[in-house]
Amino acid sequence: MALTYLDLCNNVLRRINEVEFSSSDFDSATGLHAAVKDSVQHSIDKINSAEYEWPYNAASVTATLVAGTENYVFPVNFKTADFNSFQIQKDDTLGANFKTLRKIERDEYYNLYRDTDDNSASTGRGIPDFVFMAHGVGSSDAQDLYFGVTPTPDKAYSLKYNYYRIPDRLQNATSTTRIPDHFAHVIIDGAVHFMFVFKENMDAAQLALMNFQQGIKEMQSQLVNTYERVTDRRVQFGGGKIGVQVADRF
């Protein structure tokens, strides 16, 4: 069972020898207890910002393309996309088979494909072959990010892709984080660090910070730094075997 916001805060309060929350006074917390809530959220934010592609933040979405339109907005909780995953979905009514799009750079799109796409207007040119990170359009109200496809679609094809999301912030006592429970100690170490800074106990804060940073490294090692294969890139010179020849002892 996932640890709740209340559980995490009470873990931190026990670590710093303070009175725990009850569920009834959680929402109205002030002073030190309000600072504990902030510290838990800050710790979670720091963990999530340490990597773009934490696997627990993975998500997928299917977008419906529009004839003659090359740019499409990412989801509002978008952080980064897996550009190798963009795939047109099979649809017999549209005459479409599964087709994986290849990523190109935005400048390549501008130089080679944009004029032809624009000249096709609303009719489009066919089933897309490529995907690229489009020029973002942002404002004070929204910071939208876009991807583009080319050739511009001529029909309402379905395009599925994977991305990594920005997690929702904790809101109330029963809110849970996407970080797996077996890494809850990392969240707590980070929050304890921020609370000792709040209490101006810098020696204890430094120790908690070291534990927090080590915990993030362990998360990266277990969740991110995995390799399916290792390639031997050593260069062989002289036609002999790679390695060191040991002379006979006798």
Report the pLDDT averaged over residues 117-137: 91
Q: How many residues are given for the chain?
A: 250
DSSP per position, the chain: -PPBHHHHHHHHHHHTT-PPP-TTTSTT--HHHHHHHHHHHHHHHHHHHT-S--GGGEEEEEEE--TT--EEEPPTTEEEEEEEEEEEPPBGGGTB--EEPEE--HHHHHHHTHHHHHHHGGG--SS--EEEEPPPEE-SS-EE-EEEEESPPSS--EEEEEEEEPPPPP-STT-B-SS-GGGHHHHHHHHHHHHHHHTT-HHHHHHHHHHHHHHHHHHHHHHT---S-----PPP-TTS-SS-PPPP--
| Axis-axis angle for helices 184-198, 202-223 (nearest 10) | 160
Report the pLDDT averaged over residues 192-210: 96
Strands 78-88 and 158-165, by their bridges, are: antiparallel
Residue 204's identity, in one-letter code, is A
Tens digits of residue pLDDT in 11-53: 999 999 999 998 889 999 999 999 999 999 999 999 999 998 9
Q: What is the pLDDT of residue 199?
A: 94
Residues 6+ apart with CB under 8 A from 33: 9, 13, 21, 25
Tens digits of residue pLDDT in 172-184: 999 999 999 999 9
pTM score over 0.75: yes
Report the pLDDT averaged over residues 59-86: 95
Quick check: 233 pLDDT over 80?
no
Q: Spell 83-95 as b/e; 16+ CB within 10 A means b.
A: beebbbeeeeebe
| Cα 61 from Cα 135, distance rounded (Å) | 20
| Cα 72 from Cα 58, distance rounded (Å) | 20
Mean pLDDT (the chain) is 89
